[in-house]
Amino acid sequence: MALAATRKTNVRLPPEVNRILYVRNLPYKITAEEIYDIFGKYGPIRQVRVGVNPETKGTAFVVYEDIFDAKNACDHLSGFNVCNRYLVVLYYQSTKLYQKVDAEKKQQQLDAAKRKYGVEGVVKA
């Protein structure tokens, strides 16, 4: 208990570190229980979400109770070999997801405006 108390005092983590890990390159046949076994060694897990759609297959989200456990798991399990596949473990960053959606939406609006006004996008020098 003393170790847990000392590691959390006066520790500054990078801003991208959070309790939610995004895991890629998982075997398609892996179950949530197997992910609990792999990631549970680094601390208590609040939730595991495994991708089941064709676009999300082979990915999962792992939510830890504590941010330090998530950091430890990310540091140790990135590159871990599971069924001859090397895991890619990243911190979930929702802002990047929204930026991508916003960029696509703005591009669609720009294309619609070009069609509306008959602009081909040719820049004259």
Residue range 79-116, pLDDT digits in tens:
999 999 999 999 998 776 556 667 778 888 888 888 88
Backbone angles phi, psi at 60, to 5 degrees: -160, 160
Query: How many CA atoms within 13 Å lie on the side-chain side of 73?
Result: 32
Instruction: Find the DSSP H helices in the chain.
Output: 2-7, 32-39, 67-77, 94-117
Q: Full-prediction pTM beyond 0.75?
A: no
Pairing of strands 81-82, 45-50: unpaired
CA distances from 30 to 51, 64, 108 (A): 10, 19, 37
